[in-house]
Structure 1
Amino acid sequence: MNNAFPRAAPDSTPLPRTIALVGKYNSQEAAASIRLLAGYLHERGMTVLIEEETALNLGSQIELRTWASGNFAWLGAHSDMAIVVGGDGTMLNAARQFARYRVPLIGVNQGRLGFLTDIARRDLLACLDELLDGRFVAETRMLLDAEVLRDGRPIASNLALNDIVVDKGATGRMIEFELLINGEFIYRLRADGLIVATSTGSTAYALSANGPILHPQVSAIALVPLCPHALSNRPILVGDTCEIEIHVVYATDSRAHFDGQVTVDLKSGDYVAIRRSAYSICLLHPPGYSYFAMLRQKLHWSERPKEH
């Protein structure tokens, strides 16, 4: 893998030669975009690799022997760049898979909101030309690293780009948990749960729970209670060097969720230890990209109220 690509400045960076393509599964639109990308990149002399599940989704509509395919570990070891076609969920999964390999990611939006996949399909080839020629805005996003411990022993671990959520599960009863930061007891709370979010995740589940929006350059972790029983419990921000522990005191069906995609069942007495990951993600945006312009578009800021 060409590790120099995401680290160097654009004017001195060797251009990518091997590009991985990842698409939203069971999506004909994503499959069409993958076929378009594969052919275009091949014409530009690039080596194209396709994630194995994405290749299966393409089926007989593409000559698979033309493009090598493999799992995320194989792609991470052999790719200079990855293009992810789908929605934010597709990007979240790809980010966790590619994080340890330091492969920069480009997102093509074929979902709904698309906070992370910011290139529209209609602009795909024009934006791709600029990105492949080294004209891009590189942005580093932090990830969270978490362990679930039972009787002091780890039973599960995972990364999260958006958030880690401990909640009550499918039952209607609240859970009771204790929050510790750097080993210091902060509070005991009865609630539906707690969201631990990065700046990337501040526009996801945490936003719907009245959490703050964090600019990606803010090195902080947001702690956002879900329907707390005590009205004085409000979202707080802590530094990204803090170690966070959520101890489940009482619960009947509690669970820990990583980016809303991986779930671990919890029992009373379990705790989730969370810290900033040693890995980070590099997102590549087209020239002129603006985080605030993206917020205005996705959150419909400045739009006039609809007249009835």
Structure 2
Amino acid sequence: MFNSIGLIAKRGDIRVKDTLERLVSYLNSRALEVVIDAPSARLLSGGNFSVAANTEALGIRCDLIIVIGGDGTLLQAARLLAKHDVSILGINLGRLGFLTDISPEQMEHYLDEILGGAFLEEDRFLIYAEVYREGRCLSHSNALNDMVIHRWNMTHMLTFETTINGHFMSRQRSDGLVVSTPTGSTAYALSGGGPIVHPSLNALLLVSICPHTLSNRPLVIDGDSCIAITIAENQTGQAQLSCDGVLCQQVIPGDLIVIEKRQSIRLIHPQGHDHYATLREKLDWGKAV
């Protein structure tokens, strides 16, 4: 089923070297084609593999990408791989690991099953943002977890207006706004008081960051909605748009940010993967106090 396997390892983490070496040796023993992105390949001194210049080159050549690291590493890879028809599997060397759900200790066991065709497959959609200034598109970015408009270079609040599908929703003053996918509902949106949304739902979340009102609540809307956020003309200071924790664009008064669903990735899980068991484990639900 999978013949060409691409490998991406977390950069700057010495723990990935042993896991990467084991993984290459395992895949070589199964006579599979192994392709590694250039930064990860530099960690290795031996093994039978070829080198791809970057993550997007892996997406073109491979039918399965294995990401070694934490959720942050997988998020970064997913943003670049979304345009390619490739499956993604995560080996977790991070902390929470909602997306990278196989430990290095279990790696060979689960890979035996997955490469034999026994696995679960799950589509996760991404959101896409375009930033406009005076009618001209300045930049565009995508995200698997969330887009965050947040204050920057100032201590006072950010003022902005939000419309959904052309309908005015609100004008608010706050430290910013999180626009999240169901995948991102266990990330920054959760910290802001947002609900946990099952990843199979077609929904988007809007979670304000420290809004200056007692009536504000997180909002769950249809996943096919178009969200438009305009920075107030009388706003002083600057703001930023961040995509999955990466700064993407500085925004100024009058700028328009348009966010909607676009593209998707295909995640691979071991058989028996249970979303609710993951929530119990990662969020310590039901433990005695």
How would you bin the TM-score normalised by the shorter chain? over 0.9
Is 1:293 the counterpart of 2:265 in the alignment? Answer: no
Q: Which runs of 5+ in 1 are unaligned?
A: 1-14
Is 1:47 the counterpart of 2:33 in the alignment? Answer: yes
Q: Which amino acid aligns with 2:281?
A: Q
More helix by share: 1
* Preserved CA contact (<8 Å) 1:199 1:216: yes
> Cα distance 1:108–1:267, how it changes in 2: closer, same or farther (>3 A)?
same
Q: What is residue 253 of structure 2 aligned with on the other side? A: 268
| Residues 184-212 of structure 1 deviation map (CA, whole Å, 9 limit, x = unaligned) | 11110000000000000000000000000
In structure 2, distance between residues paired with 1:190 and 1:73: 39
In structure 1, distance between residues paired with 2:260 and 2:276: 27
Q: Which amino acid aligns with 2:278?
A: M
- How many percent identity over aligned positions? 41
The Cα of 1:35 is off from its aligned counterpart by 1.2
Q: What is residue 201 of structure 1 aligned with on the other side? A: 184
In structure 1, which of residues 83, 97, 100 is the aligned counterpart of residue 66 of structure 2? Answer: 83
Q: Which runs of 5+ in 2 are unaligned?
A: none
In structure 1, distance between residues paired with 2:4 and 2:23: 13
In structure 1, distance between residues paired with 2:274 and 2:231: 40
Q: Under a length normalisation based on structure 1, what TM-score does the superposition of the two structures give? A: 0.91
Aligned length: 287
The Cα of 1:36 is off from its aligned counterpart by 0.9
* Preserved CA contact (<8 Å) 2:238 2:253: no
Runs of 4+ in 1 over 6 A off after TM superposition: none
CA RMSD in angstroms, aligned pairs only: 1.1
Q: Which moved more, 1:46-55 or 1:69-78?
A: 69-78
Q: What is residue 255 of structure 1 aligned with on the other side? A: 240
Q: Secondary structure at the match of 2:34?
A: strand
* Preserved CA contact (<8 Å) 1:174 1:251: no
The Cα of 1:170 is off from its aligned counterpart by 3.9
In structure 2, distance between residues paired with 1:88 and 1:284: 14
Q: Which amino acid aligns with 1:132?
A: L
Q: What is residue 33 of structure 1 aligned with on the other side? A: 19
Q: Under a length normalisation based on structure 2, what TM-score does the superposition of the two structures give? A: 0.97
Q: Which amino acid aligns with 1:212?
A: P
Q: What is residue 4 of structure 1 aligned with on the other side? A: none
Q: Which amino acid aligns with 1:21?
A: L
In structure 1, which of residues 120, 127, 132 is the aligned counterpart of residue 115 of structure 2? Answer: 132
Q: Secondary structure at the match of 2:82?
A: helix
The Cα of 1:261 is off from its aligned counterpart by 1.7
> Cα distance 1:240–1:251, how it changes in 2: closer, same or farther (>3 A)?
farther
